[in-house]
């Protein structure tokens, strides 16, 4: 149940995550990568049903790099 | 009664905390992890009655990473 | 009468302080800790009469970590 | 399918990317360069049909340096 | 007539200064301390007539730490 | 066609560039210098016809230092 | 005609400069000092006619430290 934030991201690789941004938008997709700034890479998920958290999140349609300083929350 | 901010977070691990964000929202959950940027990981709490502080806080429904630069206060 | 900002915080430990934030809110409580980023820990004060400065400040009701980048002023 | 954010940018060199900015605008063009801050250089693309992602993105008409701290997402 | 910004602050110690903040407010008081981030400590001034610059500045009533990232100008 | 952002700036020295800022304004002039923060120095251009990109950009009338953290794009 | 931003500031010492800030205000005065963050010190100018650039700039009336992160442009 425990873990530091980047460890939780590491464990979430290849899983579907929902990323909520400061502008109020949210994206979900398969977490393909991240770095220490919480920059993240989302890939389209094969299963759109996998979205977690925010019901209004948008599925990414292409490989999408999200710059970490826009991130509010990442739900795994 | 005393302690530096990160020591207080360390002591709050596995406890329910309420995190208030710059956008005015607030989340509560069990503190599962944190780092030196005040990035935090909240887990759903078994006991919804445990919320502290802001009565309008929302219980997290999934493991949720909160990026530290959004945080205003963390109540333990 | 003189002192660097962090020295003034060190001297204010266990005293009641009022912290004003960028969103216009203000909190007061006993200063239980701080760090070099001006992250601060406030504890509920036994004596609500101790508030300094902003008359509209809210007493903290729980141990509250305030992230330093929200702070405008700390009155001691 | 996996990769850290800067690795994904490296792999996208010479490809058309769409960069969405914090002010809500979006640009697309051929990714000619980037650095560790996600500063990016876009060149006009020979094939305007190559735009990915945001349908409202604007094609760059000159070599355009985008400062990384404005970037929300880069779609490849 | 010359000097680097922190040298000017050093020379202004024990003098009354007016600090204008990003939220449009301004405070004046005796400069009791500062650090390299332009965090500053103001003390109430014995002579309210000493205010410099902004006529709408408010005299500090307690020892007040001002976090540097809020500062727009310091008039000495 | 390729190059890292600062290499592109280096190559643009003595050329006319258009710098668009976060406040929506844009300036053009001859790029006389820059540094790693994308701080830039623009000089008035002898040929006002040289503006690139944004048609609403303003020609600088004096040597103008632009602080990098305001920059959105630089068109060369 | 060329120079890095801080070199241009160094060359402008003792000259009148106009500093435009993010809040839309502008100040002019004699540049008495600066540092690597573009913090600047302006002194009242003996010759108010020396203002450069923004016609709406205000002459500083006291020694004024301007914190660099507010600066948009400095015209020399």
SS3 sequence of A8-27 = HHHHCCCCEEEEEECCCCEE
- The CA distance from B30 to the nearest CA of chain C, in Å, is 16
Residue to mutate among F57, F67, F74, F76, with most D CBs inside 10 A, is: F74
Residue B60's pLDDT band, with cuts at 50, 70 and 90, is very high
What is the model's pLDDT at position D44? Answer: 96
Give, in degrees to the nearest 5, the angle at Cα E18 between E16 and E19: 130
What is the model's pLDDT at position A46? Answer: 78
pLDDT in tens, G2-22: 589 999 999 999 999 999 999
Per residue of chain E (76 residues), give pLDDT as tens: 458 999 999 999 999 999 999 999 999 999 999 999 999 999 998 775 656 665 689 999 999 999 999 999 999 9
With CA atoms as reference, report the closest residue to E44 among C68, C76, G61. Answer: C76
Better-predicted residue by pLDDT, B10 or E2: B10
Q: Got the DSSP string for G5-41?
A: HHHHHHHTTTSEEEEEETTS-EEEEEEEEE-TT--EE
Contact list in B for residue C70 (CB cut-off 8 A) is 22, 72
Tokens of A71: 């991130």
CB-based contact G27:G64 (threshold 8 Å): yes
Residue D1's pLDDT band, with cuts at 50, 70 and 90, is very low
| Residue showing tokens 């999408």 | A64
Taking CA–CA distances from E23, the nearest residue in chain C reads: C22
**Domain range spanning residue D11?**
5-75
Contact list in F for residue D62 (CB cut-off 8 A) is 52-53, 75-76
3-state secondary structure of E15: coil
Please state the rounded mean pLDDT for residues C37-66: 85
Query: Does residue F60 carry a pLDDT above 90?
Result: yes
Q: Got the DSSP string for C12-55?
A: HTTSEEEEEETTS-EEEEEEEEE-TT--EEEE--S-GGG--S-T
Cα distance between residue A1 and residue B42, in whole Å: 9
Give, in degrees to the nearest 5, the angle at Cα C10 between C4 and C14: 145
Touching, F vs D (3+ Cβ pairs under 8 A): yes
What is the model's pLDDT at position C39? Answer: 98
Tokens of C4: 């660097």
User: Distance between alpha carbon A60 and the CA centroid of its chain, in Å?
Assistant: 10
E strand or H helix at A74, and its extent? strand A71-75
Cα distance between residue E64 and residue C26, in whole Å: 14
3-state secondary structure of F21: strand
Better-predicted residue by pLDDT, D66 or G51: D66
pLDDT in tens, D2-56: 589 999 999 999 999 999 999 999 999 999 999 999 999 999 987 756 566 656 8
Cα distance between residue E45 and residue E42, in whole Å: 9
Contact list in B for residue C27 (CB cut-off 8 A) is 73
Query: Does residue A39 carry a pLDDT above 90?
Result: yes
Cα distance between residue D44 and residue E6, in whole Å: 46
CB proximity list for E25: less than 8 A, separation 6 or greater: E58
What is the model's pLDDT at position G1? Answer: 42
Total count of domains within chain B: 1
What is the model's pLDDT at position D35? Answer: 97
Cα distance between residue E74 and residue E53, in whole Å: 9
Burial pattern E29-46, b for ≥16 Cβ within 10 A else e, equals: bbbbbbbebbbbbbbebe
Query: Does residue C1 carry a pLDDT above 60?
Result: no
- The CA distance from C69 to the nearest CA of chain E, in Å, is 8
CB atoms < 10 A from the CB of C32, how many?
21
What is the model's pLDDT at position A11? Answer: 97
Backbone φ/ψ region at A43: left (φ over 0), alpha (ψ -120 to 50), beta:
beta
Q: For the purposes of burial, counting CB atoms within 10 Å of the CB of G1, is it exposed (0-12), middle (13-18) or buried (19 or more)?
A: exposed
Phi and psi dihedrals of D71, rounded to 5? -80, 135
pLDDT in tens, G24-69: 999 999 999 999 999 999 999 877 565 666 568 999 999 999 999 9
What is the model's pLDDT at position G2? Answer: 59
First vs last C-alpha separation in chain A: 13
Better-predicted residue by pLDDT, F1 or D2: D2
What is the model's pLDDT at position E11? Answer: 97
Please state the rounded mean pLDDT for residues A30-44: 97
- The CA distance from D73 to the nearest CA of chain F, in Å, is 14
CB-based contact G49:G59 (threshold 8 Å): no
What is the model's pLDDT at position G17? Answer: 96
CB proximity list for E32: less than 8 A, separation 6 or greater: C1, C2, C3, C8, E13, E14, E41, E42, E43, E63
CATH code where residue B43 lies? 2.30.30.100
Work out the widest C-alpha separation in chain G, in whole angstroms: 32
Where is average pLDDT lowest: A52-61, B6-15, C22-31, F55-64? A52-61
Touching, G vs F (3+ Cβ pairs under 8 A): yes
**How many contacts does D have with F, using Cβ atoms within 8 A?**
69
Are C65 and B3 a contacting pair at CB < 8 A? no
CB atoms < 10 A from the CB of D49, how many?
7
Contact list in A for residue D71 (CB cut-off 8 A) is 67
Taking the CA atoms of C62, C65, C71 and C76 in sequence, report the sign of the dihedral they define. positive
What is the model's pLDDT at position A1? Answer: 43
What is the model's pLDDT at position G70? Answer: 98
Tokens of F3: 């190059």
What is the share, in percent, of chain F residues with pLDDT greater than 90?
Answer: 80
Strands (E), F1-76: 16-21, 26-34, 40-43, 58-59, 64-66, 71-75
3-state secondary structure of D50: helix
Candidates E38, E68, E75; nearest CB to G64: E75
Please state the rounded mean pLDDT for residues C54-68: 91
CB proximity list for C39: less than 8 A, separation 6 or greater: B5, B6, B38, C65, C66, C67, C68
| Residue showing tokens 């399918």 | D1
CA distances from F16 to D64, F19, F60, F72 (A): 13, 10, 11, 17
Phi and psi dihedrals of B6, rounded to 5? -70, -25
pLDDT in tens, B14-41: 999 999 999 999 999 999 999 999 999 9
What is the model's pLDDT at position F56? Answer: 84
């Amino acid at each position: 149940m425990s873990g530091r934030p980047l460890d939780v991201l590491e464990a979430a690789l290849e899983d579907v995550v929902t990323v909520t941004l400061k502008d109020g938008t949210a994206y979900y997709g398969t977490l393909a990568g991240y770095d220490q700034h919480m920059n993240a890479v989302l890939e389209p998920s094969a299963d759109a049903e996998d979205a977690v958290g925010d019901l209004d999140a948008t599925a990414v349609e292409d490989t999408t790099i999200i710059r970490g300083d826009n991130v509010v929350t990442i739900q795994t």
